[in-house]
Amino acid sequence: MKRATIIFQPSGLRGKISKGKTILEAARELGENIESLCGGKGTCGKCRTLISEGRYAKYGIDSRRKNLSSWQKTEANFIDKKQRTEGFRLACCAAIKGDVLAFVPEESRAAKQVVSKRLHRVSVPYDPIIEKYDLIVEPPTANASRGDLERLLDALGIQHGLKNLACNIESLCPCDINVLRDLPSRLRKQHWHVTVSVWMDREIIRILPGRVLDTFGIAIDIGTTTVVASLVHLNAMQILDTQYIMNPQVKYGEDVISRINYHANNRGGLAQMSADIIEALNSMIEALLCSTWPDNISCLESVEDLNYSSVQQQRAKTEEKCLCLTPEDIEDVTIVGNTIMHHLFLKLDPRHVARAPFPPVVQKSLNIKAGRLGLNICPSAYVHILPNESGFVGADNVAVLTAEAPYRSDQIQLIIDIGTNGELVLGNKERLLSTSCATGPAFEGAEITFGMRAAPGAIERIAIDSETHEVLYKVVGHDAWSNYVKPGELQARGICGSGIMDLLAELYRSGIITKSGSFQQNQMSPRFRINPSTKLREFVIAWADETTIRRDITITQKDIRQIQLAKAAIYAGCKLLMREWGTDRVDVVKIAGGFGIHIDPIKTLIMGMIPDCDPHQIIPIGNAAGVGALVTLLNRKKRSESDWVAQMVEYVDLASLQGFKDEFLEAIYIPHKKDPFPHLEEILPPEILFQN
């Protein structure tokens, strides 16, 4: 009997698992989603699970203790005595020795993220990589029995002036073998009337019978935590639909290092993580294919063909506005992501990126046939993956730069992209410096007691009254603040990144914590207390009766320290980049962040995450990496631009700079201990700002 039965509740998933595996490993095998932010190292405490074996006689289990490996010290960091008695264990610590029934409490479930749709315009000139040509091909004649492809190429030359295609590049084929296989039937289906899709004026990637000019592409942003994919109608230059999902690789570890370790320690781990993200992208593509035509698609830009809108309107009428696209209709894809996401997607060995001096396998942008990667779109279409700047600063940052174009600006811009890591770029058209700071995952909710992702139930905005210390909050999925609804209606269950960003500034501004981040002595706030079981000082954000988890949602002294470390890493990075660049001020600060993080510019200034700056020049730019994926999808010159900028940015290794540690230690204060913050003087009362 080398295998045991494990059943997960409330999902009901069950299966036989080799004894010796942990409950977390079993969950991965069976497809149960248990949170594991640290990747199973026993350091995040997110995978607390209630083990119920022994009570269920019908499973033939008679003693709970026998069926799991013994209690580990690390578990005590996250599970108090009472919970231990109830049967809680960390899923990553408890190994299976016999049949087990495991209840995964709500806060330990890896939640499905909010899916929202939006329709928005990107301002970039229309110059897609794919162009469609409507052709009448000569039928074969006895006098000149040329090949089908040859006559098609003739027609492209004569009717559209597109001569030679790939033929001017020796030995390049003007079309893919898949296209050749479809060619004879597609030519004959509409009596030699076809539409061809040409990539880069060079290669035919698709042939359609008759006249079909609508062209669709997908822009994809693979984040460490979240994956975003937008379906774009290229001719109309409109986003038709956007899908968000959690990166399925999260089950191998929340941060990039956990995933590299998963590859290093598991044979086939890389292939598994690559297959997981490809499968996830395919499910997103499938969902996007079922999108509907938005109401205002008919306002076209840069589309010469007048017939086009009538075709589309007719289609909209008969098919009840469903796009009814096939995978083959997706003819272009752009992909951005940090260097590790880039490597895991392409199944490139990411191990060396994690070891000094951190070289990526490849920096330059790549065009790879969708069929080769297993992406379920037009198989001959190319997938464009943006270039990496370095091992630490990846294609996602290149995408941010391509979208924001600081290299065209006279102003000195500071662009901060807060994801699982913080990426900073500083400069203007003269020179751009980039760096990466190890913020840790605190801003994404990890290592915070009640931290969670921006899923329903997550507190995303927080305001604290300076007098009463009463807390107002907003929850993902609800428009109203907590004072406008009945207690419990918002169904809070944790705090997500943007809520965490608000916290430090609000606690400081309202005088609850000091400049050093400690709770004020003689704290009289009704929400302040010392937790009886952990003995930690904490502040209650939401009372148990307002939550679905039936416990108070609090922020502890330890949590506050984590947030301070994260913001200090960014501040120190900014300071040192400014020193390297040779400036003591920045004109503009742009703050990009993963989806759902609605960053409050002034709060970032109050908490001391960014150097002093005119608050009006602090601009949240949202998911700028995703916008970069969009602009490169819509405009081929932007692709060349991204290749150029990836080469042009100079990477600065912070750890190698003098004074980094000192800057970092000073930056832990709220705000920085020694730096001047003239703009804050108008915002904060002096007793707060100038306290010792």
Task: By CB under 8 A, name the binding residues for a copy of itself.
Answer: 140-142, 145-151, 167, 169-174, 177, 180-181, 183-185, 200, 346-349, 351-352, 356-368, 372-373, 388, 390-391, 639-640, 651, 653, 656
Query: Whole-angstrom Cα distance, residue 37 to residue 47?
Result: 8
How many angstroms separate the first and last alpha carbons of the chain? 66
Smallest distance from the beta carbon of 435 to a copy of itself, in angstroms? 12
Query: Closest approach of Cβ 358 to a copy of itself, in Å?
Result: 5
Q: Which is nearer to a copy of itself, 360 or 419 (CB)?
A: 360
Name the residue nearer to a copy of itself (CB basis): 358 or 677. Answer: 358
88 burial via Cβ count (<10 Å: 0-12, 13-18, 19+): buried
Nearer to a copy of itself, 134 or 650 (CB): 650
Cis-peptide, bond into residue 359, ω within 30° of zero: no
Residue 95 or 657: the one with the smaller Cβ distance to a copy of itself is 657
Q: How far is the CB of 200 from a copy of itself (least distance, A)?
A: 6
Closest CB 280 distance from a copy of itself, rounded Å: 19
Q: How are beta strands 422-427 and 413-418 bridged, if at all?
A: antiparallel
Collect all residues with Cβ–Cβ distance below 8 Å to 305 and sequence separation of at least 6.
213
* Closer to a copy of itself by Cβ: residue 157 or 184: 184
Nearer to a copy of itself, 599 or 652 (CB): 652
Shortest distance in whole angstroms from residue 627 CB to a copy of itself: 22
With respect to a copy of itself, which residue has the nearer C-beta, 148 or 444? Answer: 148
Cα separation of 605 and 505, whole Å? 8
Which two three-digit tokens encode residue 164? 């030679």
Q: 499 and 462 in contact (C-beta within 8 Å)? A: yes
Mode of pairing for the β-strands spanning 471-475 and 330-337 = unpaired
Shortest separation between residue 555's beta carbon and a copy of itself, angstroms: 38
Q: Give which of 345, 327, 341, 257 is closest to 290, Cα–Cα.
A: 327
- The contacts of residue 465 (CB under 8 Å, 6+ apart) are 471, 472, 510
What count of Cα atoms within 13 Å lies in the side-chain half-sphere of residue 477?
A: 17
Question: Could you tell me the smallest distance in angstroms from the CB atom of residue 169 to a copy of itself?
Answer: 6
Query: Which residue, 174 or 217, has its beta carbon nearer to a copy of itself?
Result: 174
Smallest distance from a copy of itself to CB 375, Å: 12
How far is it, in rounded angstroms, from Cα 395 to Cα 447? 27
Residues 136 and 524: their CA atoms lie apart, in Å, by 83
Residue with Cβ nearer a copy of itself (470 or 650): 650
User: How many CB atoms are closer than 10 A to CB 62?
Assistant: 12
Task: Compute the least distance from the CB of residue 582 to a copy of itself, in Å.
Answer: 19
Render the burial of 451-468: b for 16+ CB within 10 Å, e for the rest: bbbbbbbbbbbbbbeeee
Task: State the pairing for strand pair 588-593/413-418.
Answer: parallel
Shortest reach from residue 206's CB to a copy of itself, in Å: 16
**Rounded distance, CA 354 to CA 350, Å?**
7
- Retrieve residue 468's tokens: 């009463």
Q: What gap in Å lies between CA 457 and CA 98, rounded to an integer?
A: 35
Q: Which lies closer to a copy of itself via its Cβ, residue 85 or residue 145?
A: 145
